[in-house]
Amino acid sequence: MKNWIPLLLLLLVLSSCKTRNAIQNNTATRDSIKTSEENKNPKDANEPVRDKLTFFEHVLIPPKFEQIKIDSKVRVETGNYIPPLDATIYIENDKKVWMNLRALFINVARGLATPEGIKGQDKVNKVYIDSDFDYLNNLLNVNFIDYKSLEKILLGRTFVKISDSQFTLTQNAQGYKMVSNDNQKITTDDKSRAYKIALQYDTNYDLLSVNLKDVLSSDELEISYSDWDEFNGIRLPKNVKIIIKGSKSSQILLENTKFDFSRMETAYSVPSSYKKIEIK
């Protein structure tokens, strides 16, 4: 989140008409100059981007890494009370995402995602899941998330397909904006949905937000990123906010407090006493 610095307003008590008129004239001159500068570089006007190749190179080429360990503080808002959680997220590039969740220093859940699917266990209620990515898609109210998309979401990379022919790319003082020209139809496993998609990037190409709105329902997914910094030569976001709207509405907030690039063990096994939950 950005910290807004309050402006100090200097109030001058003017005793003479002459002084007041002089200040008014100076103010008018400054306003004229300011208006002229704003016309040259309008803050909110979206102008076409000329160097599109550089843009696509920055936002589409993935970072090079073998593994990343992320320590995070997680807050989940679903309408039911869920205590704040501490998470360890370990990403092995193109292979697996392993996660361990703790509440008050007690392990409460563990998960593992691979290109084949998702496994997860609730250590409190002694239940587990073993599913394809339909589980994650149902959670996020979309239909296109696969393993690589999950990696990109966690690392703040563009996780939807964008192209120059189907999107309009513009630039303003805040950065770059990409909006789909037409509804983007995505078909996976005989499931087809159409989305209106908008993406916002900072002036240095860091991803700020992705918004996907299902055109035939109230389902909407918005993921935003902030407080980007460079770690081991890779730019990563310290804050990730996932907002899910529609038939299921919730928020997931991750505050990434530490990044580590060393390898770690990622044990995952389900006790025989745990009960499997079938995902329908």
CATH number, domain of 249, equals 2.50.20.10
Q: For 165-207, what is each residue's pLDDT tens digit?
A: 999 999 999 999 999 999 999 988 778 999 999 999 999 999 9
Q: What is the pTM (predicted TM-score) of this model? A: 0.81
In a domain, 16, yes or no: no
Rounded Cα distance between 34 and 148, Å, is 47
Name the strand (E) or helix (H) holding 213. Answer: strand 207-214
In a domain, 127, yes or no: yes
Residue 60's pLDDT is what?
Answer: 95
Residue 168's pLDDT is what?
Answer: 95
In a domain, 13, yes or no: no
Tell the burial category of 103 from Cβ atoms under 10 Å away from its Cβ (0-12, 13-18, 19+). Answer: middle
Is residue 59 within 8 A of residue 159, CB to CB? The reply is no
CA dihedral angle for residue 172, residue 58, residue 256, residue 226, rounded to 10 degrees: 0
Rounded Cα distance between 90 and 97, Å, is 6
In a domain, 19, yes or no: no
In a domain, 94, yes or no: yes
Q: For 51-86, what is each residue's pLDDT tens digit?
A: 899 999 999 999 999 999 999 999 999 888 889 999
Residue 44's pLDDT is what?
Answer: 58
Residue 226's pLDDT is what?
Answer: 98
In a domain, 50, yes or no: no
Beta-bridge partners for 103:
106
Range of the domain at 110: 57-275
Residue 38's pLDDT is what?
Answer: 44
Count: domains in the chain = 1
In a domain, 9, yes or no: no
Rounded Cα distance between 102 and 85, Å, is 6
In the chain, % helix, strand, coil (3-state, to 5) comes to 20, 45, 40
Residue 12's pLDDT is what?
Answer: 29
In a domain, 32, yes or no: no
Counting as low any pLDDT under 70, the low residues of the chain are: 1-44, 279-280
Residue 82's pLDDT is what?
Answer: 87
Q: Which two tokens stand for residue 149?
A: 């998309």
Is residue 15 within 8 A of residue 21, CB to CB? The reply is no
